[in-house]
Amino acid sequence: MLRHLSVLVITLVVAVSTSPAHQGERVCTPEQWEAVVVGKVAEQSQGKFYIVDVVGKAAADYEKGVIGLSESVFSQGQYVGSYLYLNTKSASYLADVVNKHCQKLPPVTVEQPCSDSSWLTYRTSWLVGGTQWSDTYQHNNGSSKTTFTIMRDNFAMISENVEHVIGGVPQLVTLQYGNMTKGITDPSIFNIPSYCNI
């Protein structure tokens, strides 16, 4: 028991004594990027609690103000469906790709995360793999709260946790990013599906 408390205290001391990276040097997530995404979505609807697994691809183009997430969803290992979340400057869309249904939502402001972004609040730092540092930031936007963990050296996304409400349904979304690359090789992820012309 004492050993576990010692590890906890050392972890807390490291987290409290570290400061956000790049205090003098500005580093940003690439202006355009693509990544593989895996994660979970939890929501409560009609008195039931649901947790599903997601696997897909995410991309962002901050100059154009767009973010896309194309995902396949699985519940208890069984395929449930494919969905597209697309945020543009004028609207957000949540599309059921298989059933061709679309929900149009208000847009969310899309900004390129940088080490000096005033909308990000630094929370803590973690040593990853014993050699690299990551930094955790938080962003509150109305009823939505997002926590980002980003590699310190290149500001590449590692993970994102979002607490928000979509269509009156509270959701917790946890995403892990991998193979993040600069640039967009497949811009079709930003195409608004024809059945979304609502």
Question: How far, in whole angstroms, is CA 84 from its chain's centroid?
Answer: 14
pLDDT reported for residue 16: 35
Partner residues linked to 53 by β-bridges: 40, 74
pLDDT reported for residue 158: 93
Q: Tokens 């896309």 identify what position?
A: 68
Q: Tokens 């000096």 identify what position?
A: 116
pLDDT reported for residue 10: 29
Task: Give the amino acid at 40.
Answer: K
The whole-angstrom separation of Cα 54 and Cα 133 is 27
Partner residues linked to 170 by β-bridges: 165
Q: How many residues does the chain have?
A: 198
Per-residue pLDDT tens digits of the chain, which is 198 residues long: 333 322 222 222 333 333 455 456 888 999 999 999 999 999 987 888 889 999 999 999 999 999 999 999 999 999 999 999 999 999 999 999 999 999 998 888 888 999 889 989 999 998 988 889 999 999 987 778 999 999 988 889 999 999 988 778 888 999 999 999 999 999 999 999 999 976
In the chain, the N- to C-terminal Cα span, in Å, equals 59
3-class DSSP string for the chain: CHHHHHHHHHHHHHHHHCCCCCCCCCCECCCEEEEEEEEEEEEEECCEEEEEEEEEEEEEECCCCEEEEEEEEEECCEEEEEEEEEECCCCEEEEECCCCEEEEECCCCCCCCECCCCCCEEEEEEEECCCEEEEEEEEEECCEEEEEEEECCCCCEEEEEEEEEECCEEEEEEEEEEEEEECCCCHHHHCCCHHHCC
pLDDT reported for residue 129: 84
The whole-angstrom separation of Cα 85 and Cα 69 is 5
pLDDT reported for residue 9: 28
